[in-house]
Every structure is written in C-alpha cells, then in structure tokens.
Amino acid sequence: MGRDRVIVVGAGHASAQLCVSLRQGGWEGEVLLVGDEPSLPYQRPPLSKTFLHGTTTLDDLLIRGPEFYEKEDVTFRHARVTAIDREAGTVALDDGDALSYDRLVLCTGARPRPLDVPGADLAGVHALRDAADIEAIRGTLKTAARAVIVGAGYIGLEAAASLRKLGIEVAVLEVADRVLQRVTAPEVSAFYDRVHREEGVDLRTGVGVAGFEGDGHLRAVRLTDGTKIPADLVVVGVGVLPNVELARDAGLAVQDGILVDEHGRTDDPHVFAAGDCANHPDARYGTRMRLECVANANEHAKAIAGAICGKPKPISALPWFWSDQYDLKLQIAGLSAGHDEVVLRGDPDDGRSFACFYFADGRLIAADCVNRPQEFMFAKRAITQELSPDRVLLADPDTKLASLLQTPTGSAR
C-alpha cells in the first residue's frame, strides 16, 4: 500500500509555502505539485519590475530551487488539471492521465479580468499576470515608444512606473475619479497622482476605453468620448477573477472565490483551497474576504499544512501588502474598508514619505505607509493589539511611536 498523497493544484506562492510547511509539520506522505506553467513556483511581484527590466531571470525568481524539491521529496508535474472527481478521490489531467489523492489543495490563483471592447485581441494588447505575459511585453518593448495602461490600481501604476524607468512614454487611463480609489483614502490617491505626473505620466481619470484600433497590431486607444491616444503597447490592469471553475464543477461552494473555513478547508473535508482563489472568514474584521497578496497566500498554506498534519492553527495573521513604484515603497497594514477617520503623519503634498492611518469607531484598523517602515511596523502591532492611539500624538512626527504602544492613550478601549 502506497503512502498517503497530497496533490497541490497550481504552482504559485501558496503552493511553494505549502510544500515547505507540510514537511516542517511532519507530513511523510507524497507531495505532488501540478502546475500549468513549465516553471517551478516563482516570485510574482518582481515580474513587472526587475524581470520586465531584464535584470533578473526566472531562475533568479524561483521561491525555492530545484534542490529543495528533490531534498524534500516533492514531485513537480507540468500539466493542467481539468476535472476533480471527489467521490473517486482523483483529478484528471489534460494529457489524459488521472491521479489519486488523499488530500487535495487548490492553489489555482486568479486570472486577469478581460476588457471586453473591440480590438482587445490585437497584437500589442497585453495582460500582466505571469512570466509569459511579461516576456510578451518585453518583446514589444524593442519597438514600442508609447504605452497606455488601462487601470490605475496597484498593477497598473506599478507597470507605468516600470515602463517610465525604461524611457517609454506612458499614459494611464482610469474610469474612476481618482487612482487607487477602491483601496485608499483621497489623500493617498492624490499623492500617487502627483508622483506619477512628476515622473512624466499622462494620467487621465474619469475616462473610459471604447476600443483598441490597429491594422493587425495596436496603433491607438479610442476613448468613450472619441479621443484617440496613439499607442504601440497596451497593458490592461482592471482587476482579476479567481479561478474557481475546477471547484465549482466539482460541486464545491464558491462565491467570490472558493469558500473555505478558518483552516482553509472547503465543504469537502479532503479538499482545501489557498491564495488568490480562496475566500476565508476573518475574525478580526468580522467578514469573509478574498485577498490577492503573497502574505495571504503564505498564511493560507501554513494553516492548511497544520490541518493536514493534525496540528490545526487557524488563519489569523493581519493582512498586509506592498507596492513598489519608482523610489516609493508602499507598505500596507490591515484593511481600510469601513474607516470613518484618517490621520496623516507627514505631508503627502510635499516630498515622498508619509503615513496614512485609518480609524473606525476610534480604533486603528489599517495604515498606508510610504517610505515609512517604522510606521508600518507600529501599525501592524497596534492593529493586532486593537489599540486606539491618540490621533493628535500620532500625527505629530516628533512623537515616538513606541510611546503610543505603552501609554494609556495607546491602550485598548
């Protein structure tokens, strides 16, 4: 009789962490990693930066080298899972093979949301999600002089910054009234608007894209008001869709992701889901959430490994994120949705360093910290401890942050 087998579907950040955590947790059975990209799991955030610039290779970005998988007896198979048979405990592959599992972990990630407009299939129109996308964009850069980014979220703004560093003319188009509108306060949006304009980006908000035009290859972007913007390259960054089809077709519950409990388990006790595709309950914020970030993927993987290894530890870490643009390191602690007050430390209208703290009912719930690592670390501690730091002292740059963790004004209430 063979060893019990864990099959991991998808080869991203959650998958890589799961392989580590399973072995650290004492799992002695088989671990089979099935990925539809030919590469072992690699870091995705640098794709739009150093990988796009050509200063790192895909091998440089591997989360773990081949020697790790060999040493830890993890088998990698390049294939696509096409179906799950939960009753038989098997998955079907696109090469016709079928594999049995004792535990199945879906790390299927997300895919770029398509822009349904005429010309979206023209050569020169790209999404930005995986290494193949970046390699396609890099090929276009040899002849491209003018780029248009559709979407002013983090992905779009990071792409704009990277292309400007390469000397390409860049226009950013955003249908909302301000950049990062869905995720930040107006003060933070205004800061990034200013910085990108200072870097030479043609930034347009409140505009819609009607279509892309060209003669087989992209030549221009047509806006809904009839304006045309010449372009050799378009990057569409208008969000992502979680890859839930495998789970849905197998009869698992899905709703903005694959529904899992605090241990990453679906409504089938033998099937788990992690990372961008998984929707989990969060006790701190009292709601379900699906997060698209490396830290969340890693936390999911650790919780799932604990459950599989009989050492359950629920998903509980504070969500945190980051974004690199130009010389800016934005570090985000917590989730700002539902805030009713904003406190600024530093001036977002001058220079390139400040922090924006978000409060709800007097309690600190999130922070956006631009080139402010100390404020970021403070925010992570204060939010985790459910503190209500004095807003006046917090806004004063001369106040030592450590004192707000110790004094009565920094106590929970």
Count how many domains the chain has. Answer: 3
For the segment 22-60, what is each residue's pLDDT rounded down to a tens digit? 999 999 999 999 999 999 999 999 999 999 998 999 999
Instruction: For residue 86, tell me if it sits in a domain.
Output: yes
Q: Other CB atoms closer than 10 Å to residue 89's CB: what's the count? A: 17
CA 244/CA 239 separation, integer angstroms: 16
If asked whether residues 77 and 217 sit together in one domain, one would say: no
The answer to whether residues 60 and 84 belong to one domain is yes
206 and 304 within one domain: no
Q: Which helix (H) or strand (E) holds 333?
A: strand 328-334
Question: What is the per-residue pLDDT for 406?
Answer: 74
Which of 238, 262, 287 terminates a domain? The answer is 238
Q: What is the pLDDT of residue 3?
A: 80
Q: Is 322 inside any structural domain?
A: no
pLDDT in tens, 220-276: 999 999 999 999 999 999 999 999 999 999 999 999 999 999 999 999 999 999 999
Res. 199: pLDDT tops 80? yes
Domain of residue 172: give its range: 114-238
For residue 64, what is the DSSP state? S
Q: Which residues pair with 260 in a beta bridge?
A: none
The alpha carbon dihedral of 35, 39, 41, 46 has a sign of negative
pLDDT at 201 over 80: yes
Co-location of 269 and 367 in the same domain:
no
Give me the residue label for tokens 């106040």: 399
353-366 average pLDDT score? 96
pLDDT tens for 122-177 read: 999 999 999 999 999 999 998 899 999 999 999 999 999 999 999 999 999 999 99
Identify any residues that bridge with 258 across adjacent strands, giving them in sequence order: 254, 278
Tell me the C-alpha to C-alpha distance, in Å, between residue 36 and each of 82, 257, 275, 330. Answer: 11, 19, 16, 31
**Does 127 share its domain with 225?**
yes
Whole-model pTM? 0.94
Q: Decide if 291 contacts 275 (C-beta within 8 A).
A: no
CATH assignment of the domain containing 227: 3.50.50.60
Please state, in angstroms and rounded to a whole number, the distance separating the CA atoms of residues 219 and 143: 12
Distance of alpha carbon 40 from alpha carbon 53, whole angstroms: 21
pLDDT at 413 over 50: no
Q: What is the pLDDT of residues 395-407, one digit of tens each?
A: 999 999 999 997 4
Which domain-ending residue is among 276, 308, 340? 308
Cα gap 37→263, rounded to integer Å: 27
Q: How confident is the model at residue 409 (pLDDT cuts 50, 70, 90)?
A: very low
Is 60 exceeded by the pLDDT of residue 318?
yes
Last residue of a domain, one of 238, 256, 286: 238
- Any domain includes 337: yes
